[in-house]
Chains A and B, each alone.
Chain A
Amino acid sequence: AQKVTQAQTEISVVEKEDVTLDCVYETRDTTYYLFWYKQPPSGELVFLIRRNSFDEQNEISGRYSWNFQKSTSSFNFTITASQVVDSAVYFCALSGNTPLVFGKGTRLSVIA
């Protein structure tokens, strides 16, 4: 069975701090995809990144970076120099031979 664990339920940081959101997954599929989505207070799901299981290169996009480590089944997400607009619930998700399985989400609050 596929499973995604986001152990951090809520994180609160002061603006400009760096913050890392953890994601650990379980799957028996050899080919799978990992995702991060952002859900701001308005409720929509905003796609941030998709990474396939064969690509362990870390990725940076502006203030966002992702660290994929197959050896520890983790796909962590770091926001550098956080801003108030980063306040949202962040979901990690996994897709193999089944539709998307989401973690429970981490609520990030960035305080000015």
Chain B
Amino acid sequence: EPEVTQTPSHQVTQMGQEVILRCVPISNHLYFYWYRQILGQKVEFLVSFYNNEISEKSEIFDDQFSVERPDGSNFTLKIRSTKLEDSAMYFCASDTGTGHQPQHFGDGTRLSIL
């Protein structure tokens, strides 16, 4: 079965540095998403992306965050100047586009900010 893949599985970065998290959504999916889960807490929506632009974003997704689909397969989340509180698990998800119903999540990237 097709899967959403995320790299790296674990990223350690110094505070203030830029970080890029990468995702390869399922190939025939049209909607892409990033979610965040701070350790021990619930999963929170960050941003959705469709037709090469952001379709929706949460209040968490401030100017430090950006998303991009640089080619036909990758979907990236960039954090410009990382803070300690950005430490979390970041999940990418994709969906066919029949409404906002992501069912297919990647295994996540654990981001640790030192």
Contacts and interface: CB of A to CB of B under 8 A. Distances in A.
Contacts of A95: 99-102
A93 B103 CA distance: 11
B100 A100 contact: yes
Contacts of B35: 100
Contacts of B56: 98-99
B43 interface: yes
Contact of B110 (A43, A102, A105): A43
A106 to B, nearest CB: 11
Interface in A82-112: 91, 93, 95, 97-105
Size bracket of the B interface:
20 to 34
Q: B interface, by DSSP: helix, strand, loop or mixed?
A: strand
A91 B40 CA distance: 12
B42 A102 contact: yes
Nearest to A103: B42
Contact of A35 (B99, B103, B107): B103
Contacts of B91: 45
Interface residues of A, number: 21
Nearest to A107: B40
A55 interface: no
B48 interface: yes
A70 interface: no
Interface of B: 33, 35, 41-45, 48, 56, 89, 91, 99-108, 110
Interface of A: 33, 35, 37, 42-45, 47, 50, 91, 93, 95, 97-105
Given A42-B107, A43-B89, A100-B35, 12 more contacts: A35-B103, A44-B106, A44-B108, A47-B103, A91-B42, A93-B43, A99-B45, A99-B100, A99-B102, A100-B33, A101-B45, A102-B44
Nearest 4 Cβ contacts at the A-B interface: A45-B105, A44-B107, A102-B43, A99-B45
